[in-house]
A and B are shown apart, each in its own frame.
Chain A
């Protein structure tokens, strides 16, 4: 089986095990699912009660001329099956809104539910159901040139967050005894030019830091002046100007000065009340509890060593031996962690072997990069958004407005936040008038003024009396008339599928908050409400 290099075999296995439910298979839902089926997700169930209409042929690739009048769920399901015959594809011809009302336990069977094109009322109901059943949920909505994506899950923890740029775990600011001893075996003052220019910068820096500390009362460089002097000291050891290893040492010298101890982010995680474990705790939190103990005792304020080093100018022999030194320390730290995990498991009456070695190892390697994501209930966000945040979003100008002076229109407000309010106002409008604003030609003027008063009412309810939405944006929302444009659906579906992959593989960090796609000028925004 082919697997993607990005999420690896483990991520692929998680995808293949996943069972996903899609609500509504218009273009937003179909495109979301298409990306996941291509990625190798295990099984899909499509819920949609509508029949294919002629209008659908203009925005949904998964239906065609021959499908008009047939079940949309069936047609989309058949197309997706064709894309990947390994996926178990099912469909249910029923309106999601009815299913939410009549059969809430239906959703418990899935790993994750993707709810597309639901209006506010159904979103809130489904969210409660999934939260109760501990099922991951993601909402995706396309509406004219705008869109919304929102994850809803009580808690999502990530071990393999795979950040792009993360400082290597080299401990040059506090080398352990074996690394010091290894550095002692190398002579920086060698007269052999070939050896001199193949001494890896790790060794150069460990030795130079020690030399510095010996002449500075045991302290490392801390002031700007001292840091500069330290770099000059490194430079003075060069025999010729083209010694790459010494250039690398100067560039990496900041690693000697970097503060010891753990990041504020990790501090927050080990201080989380979940790190007080009991028999209901997840493996993640049991390992966090072990990590907390490790940091406080054996670690001396540090996490277990990651155990890998970046490529650097070096002889093969020194590099490989250096690698082994780091790996050996990582192994020692891991064994301590493993013991601590076992003890904790015993304490909470779980099988001490119930967390595999491989998982503990991965946890140790990634200890500095752990992530915990929590999401509010949609109902809470809708009824009581973080008021100061919302106020700020609504009054903030678009970032980059400065540069808009020479374009046609300077938007007087934050477009994304305005669109968020208007989408919610449109749902209220639909609940009151049984149609979306601007859905039918010829009723535009009336709809515009009604949408405006609905938006004003909504803002009042949210406590944002001072804020107003511009006439232009209200007009724009009515112009959209609840259309589901294919390109917007493809964008929104792309985002939704990417977040689903992150949730299922438990790799990378899923988005927080509510993502508002702004297709007018692409100044989209995450609203943390």
Chain B
């Protein structure tokens, strides 16, 4: 059929991007310009190069995106090979992000994938602002929460508390567990952010220490006893490394002894690994399904070539096949994607005093705080060079440091939460200096 027409590599994608339609997004403008823009101008960041990340990179590359970056702190393990299709036995020990990027570039010509072998917290916040959309292929709640807070920190509200469209950093998030998974679109300020619906991710069940120490009943209790109690007793000061096979073997054999003592069956090496590393079992097929949904939504958010998911898809293949779309709603008081926590200050308050204040603020409870204002570092906890450079600001009034602006947004990063539940986060604060703003402007305080 039609042999004379020279074929294009984007033969199939062109149908979707070059032809007009009626069931499309409001911004859709079919044409080769759109295709070229996706190719040349749109920058996509993929977080995670594991089971989901590998699929995402491939899927996005085939969806016309040519400027991709990927960030992952892990190295390839043998146990990854049965679901992470970009890795081969010879890659074991190499950084996932590097190998995944290289493999996709080898097979999909034209695509450029830059890899980052590091923790997500190692990148400056500004790094994340460089992308048009961020796609998350993660298996940890903490990491999702961090990226969410970073993306939401870019969001700006106008004086009527309406989100400013150009400041919205869209995210597409996927997750799987066995035969189940979810995909969602987060448009900060428009759809619920990760934190608005944090109840969807119930906290991990932790065993009470007294059960572990006194009345173990299951194999998992014996393993956690060896891991959490016995290890510290036997290795004073040495931290347990879950990636060290000798450490794992030690915990396993202690757990076996414990189980024998109490007559409890079922301790195996693989269960030990599962419990200690808190491994969520993942399989290739579910990763493929969820990643495909995420990549498709990424293309739709960017191009408007179809309607988008509103806003949360669940997939369950355990008993038959069930998919469901749920429209979750925003938490109007969300600390992360809301207009920001309102902080009222006297003009004389120093940066040091301001930082102390955040530690006691009941909604924030922030420690190890770094402060930036309009992209300028006012105080940085790390690295040491920056700390030294910004230290002298601590004794200056914040009002002066903000160029005597009576009210504005200040970004802070630090650790939130209490005790051992602390985690990195980024928060947006609306700082207002008392007596410097007209009274009529102050009614925005209702949003705090």
Q: How far is the CA of A234 from the CA of B296 in the complex (A)?
A: 54
Partner of B26, one of A53, A408, A524: A408
Q: Does A486 make an interface contact (CB < 8 A)?
A: yes
The CA-CA distance from A55 to B313 in the complex, in Å, is 31
Report Cα–Cα, A34/B58, bound state, in Å: 13
Asked if B79 is at the interface of the complex by the 8 Å CB criterion, the answer is yes
Q: Do residues B22 and A409 form an inter-chain contact, with CB atoms below 8 A?
A: yes
Closest to A496 in B: B285
Q: Is B59 a contact of A490 with CB atoms below 8 Å? A: yes
> Does A521 contact B216, Cβ atoms closer than 8 Å?
no
Interface residues in B213-252 (C-beta closer than 8 Å to A): 215-218
Number of A-B contacts (CB under 8 A): 234
> A173: which B residues are within 8 A, CB to CB?
none
User: A475 — which chain B residues lie within 8 A by C-beta?
Assistant: 21-22
CB-CB under 8 A from B97, the residues of chain A are none
B289 touches A498 (CB 8 A): yes
**Residues A48-71 near B (CB distance < 8 A):** 53-55, 57-59, 61, 64-65
Q: A61-B108, A524-B323 are in contact. Are A38 and B23 (CB under 8 A)?
A: no
Kindly list chain B residues whose C-beta atoms are within 8 Å of the C-beta of A498.
Answer: 179, 283, 285-286, 289, 317
Q: Are A5 and B318 also in contact (CB < 8 A) when A65-B109, A316-B215, A490-B292 are?
A: no
* A487 contacts the other chain (CB 8 A): yes
When chains A and B are docked, how far (Å) is the Cα of A38 from the Cα of B85?
7
Question: CB distance A494 to B22 under 8 Å?
Answer: no
Q: Cβ of B156 < 8 Å from any Cβ of A? A: no
For the complex, give the distance between the alpha carbons of A231 and B179 in Å. 37
Q: Which of A404, A479, A493 has the most CB of B within 10 A?
A: A479
CA–CA, A512 and B321, complex, Å: 8
Instruction: State which of B3-11, B67-75, B131-139, B436-444 sits at the interface with chain A.
Output: B3-11
A311 touches B281 (CB 8 A): no
Q: Given contacts A58-B8, A472-B22, is CB(A486)–CB(B318) below 8 Å?
A: no
Kindly state whether residue B257 has any CB partner on chain A within 8 Å.
no
CB <8 Å contact, A38 and B9: no
Q: How far is the CA of A490 from the CA of B26 in the complex (A)?
A: 27
**B residues in contact with A254, CB < 8 Å:** none
Chain A residue contacts of B164, Cβ below 8 A: none
Contacts of A198 in B (CB 8 A): 215
Q: Is B422 among interface residues, defined by CB-CB distance under 8 A?
A: no
Is A316's CB under 8 angstroms from B9's CB?
Answer: no
How distant is the Cα of A499 from the Cα of B285 in the complex, in angstroms?
A: 9
> Judging by beta carbons under 8 Å apart, are A480 and B15 in contact?
yes
Are B292 and A491 in contact, with the CB atoms below 8 A?
Answer: yes
Is the beta-carbon distance between B9 and A522 smaller than 8 angstroms? Answer: no
9-residue interface stretch from A156-164, A211-219, A221-229? A156-164
How many chain B residues sit at the interface, stated as a range, is 35 or more
Binds B, one of A111-119, A342-350, A503-511: A503-511
Which of B78, B211, B323 is most buried by chain A, counting CB atoms within 10 A of its CB? B323
The answer to whether B13 touches A485 (Cβ under 8 A) is yes
Q: Is A55 touching B8 in the complex (CB atoms < 8 A)?
A: yes
Quick check: is A2 within 8 A (CB to CB) of the other chain? yes
Given the interface contacts A485-B13, A487-B59, does A316 sit within 8 Å of B327 by beta carbon? no
B411 at interface, CB cutoff 8 A = no
Q: Is B94 in contact with chain A by the CB < 8 A criterion?
A: no
Q: Which residue from B16, B21, B217 sits with its C-beta under 8 Å from A319?
A: B217
* Stretch with Cβ within 8 A of A (4 or more), from B262-270, B369-377, B398-406: B262-270
Quick one: which of B190-215 are within 8 Å of A by CB?
211, 215
| Contact in complex: B309, A521 (CB < 8 Å) | yes
Report how far A261 CA is from B26 CA in the complex, Å: 56
B327 touches A400 (CB 8 A): yes
- What 1/0 flags go to B15-58 for Cβ under 8 Å of A? 11001111111100000000000000000000000000001001
Whether the Cβ atoms of A476 and B7 lie closer than 8 Å is no
Main secondary structure of the interface of B (DSSP, over half): loop
Is A328's beta carbon under 8 Å from chain B?
A: no
**Contact (Cβ within 8 A) B307 A520:** yes
A320 & B264 in contact (Cβ 8 Å cutoff): yes
| B299 contacts across to A, CB distance below 8 A | 487
Among A35, A471, A484, point to the contact of B288 (Cβ < 8 A). Answer: A35
**Residues of chain B contacted by A96 (CB below 8 angstroms):** none
B132 to chain A, nearest CB (A): 18
Please tell me which one of the listed residues B55, B306, B318, B325 contacts residue A519 in the complex, with CB atoms under 8 A apart.
B306
Q: Is the CB of A495 within 8 A of B321?
A: yes
The answer on a CB contact under 8 Å between A59 and B62 is: yes
Partner of B318 from the list A2, A508, A512, A515 (CB cut-off 8 Å) is A508
Does B308 sit within 8 A of A, measured CB to CB? yes
Interface membership of B82, Cβ < 8 A: yes
| Residues of the A chain whose Cβ atoms lie less than 8 Å from the Cβ of B83 | 38-39
Q: Given A4-B82, A526-B321, are A490 and B291 neighbors across the interface (CB < 8 Å)?
A: yes
Q: Is A103 on the interface with B (CB-CB < 8 A)?
A: no
Residue A501 is within 8 A (CB to CB) of chain B in the complex: yes
Report how far A34 CA is from B323 CA in the complex, Å: 23
* The one of B109, B289, B308, B327 that contacts A57, using a Cβ cutoff of 8 Å: B109
The reply to whether B82 and A483 form a contact with Cβ atoms under 8 Å apart is no
Specify which of B9, B22, B24 is in contact with A58 (CB 8 Å cutoff). B9
CA distance A5 to B23 in the complex (A): 42
User: In the complex, are the beta carbons of B321 and A490 less than 8 A apart?
Assistant: no
Say yes or no: B319 contacts A509, CB within 8 Å: yes
With both beta carbons as reference points, the residue of chain B lying nearest to A162 in the complex is identified as: B318
Do A497 and B9 contact each other (CB < 8 Å), given the known contacts A311-B218, A403-B310, A521-B310? Answer: no
- Which residues from A are CB-within-8-Å of B20? 479
B295 contacts partner chain A, Cβ-Cβ < 8 Å: yes
Closest partner residue, chain B, to A408 (CB atom): B26
CB-contact partner of B284 in A39, A312, A439, A481, under 8 A: A39
A390: chain B residues at CB < 8 Å are: none
From 161 to 213 in chain B, residues with beta carbon under 8 angstroms from any chain A beta carbon are 178-179, 183, 211
Residues of A within 8 A of B93 (CB): none
Interface code B293-304, partner A: CB below 8 Å = 1, 0 otherwise? 101100100000
Chain A residue numbers with a CB within 8 Å of B1 are 435, 439-440
CB neighbours (8 Å) of B11 from chain A are: 54-55, 58-59, 483
Q: Does B353 contact A (CB under 8 A)?
A: no
Partner of B296, one of A409, A481, A491: A491
| Interface residues in B415-440 (C-beta closer than 8 Å to A) | none
Contact (Cβ within 8 A) B320 A510: yes
Q: B23 to A522, Cβ gap below 8 A?
A: no
Nearest neighbor of B25 in chain A, beta-carbon distance: A408
A244 to chain B, nearest CB (A): 9
- Nearest to B298 among chain A residues (CB) is A487
A40 contacts B62, CB within 8 Å? no
Q: How far is the CB of A98 from chain B (nearest CB, A)?
A: 18
Contact A479–B21 (Cβ < 8 Å)? yes
Q: Choose among A313, A476, A498 the residue with the greatest number of B CB atoms under 10 Å from its CB.
A: A498
Asked whether B12 lies within 8 Å of A59 as measured between CB atoms, the reply is yes
- In the complex, B88 has a CB within 8 A of chain A: yes
Cβ of A380 within 8 Å of any chain B Cβ, yes or no, is: no
Query: Which 3 interchain pairs have the tightest Cβ spacing?
Result: A55-B11, A494-B288, A486-B62
Which residues of A are interface residues toward B (Cβ below 8 A)?
2, 4-6, 31, 34-35, 38-40, 53-55, 57-59, 61, 64-65, 82-83, 144-145, 161-164, 198, 311-316, 319-320, 400, 403-404, 407-409, 411, 435, 438-440, 444, 471-473, 475-476, 479-481, 483-488, 490-491, 493-495, 497-499, 501-502, 508-512, 515, 519-524, 526
Can you list 23 A-B contacts (CB < 8 A)? A4-B281, A31-B288, A35-B288, A38-B83, A40-B82, A58-B62, A59-B13, A162-B318, A311-B218, A320-B217, A400-B325, A400-B326, A403-B310, A408-B307, A479-B16, A479-B21, A481-B19, A483-B11, A485-B12, A490-B289, A499-B317, A520-B23, A521-B325
Given A5-B274, A54-B9, A502-B317: 8 more A-B contacts, CB < 8 Å: A54-B11, A58-B8, A58-B10, A82-B88, A404-B310, A490-B288, A494-B286, A521-B308
Using a CB–CB distance below 8 Å, which chain B residues touch chain A?
1-2, 7-13, 15-16, 19-26, 55, 58-59, 62-63, 78-79, 81-83, 85, 88, 106-109, 178-179, 183, 211, 215-218, 262-264, 270, 274, 281, 283-289, 291-293, 295-296, 299, 306-310, 313, 317-321, 323, 325-327
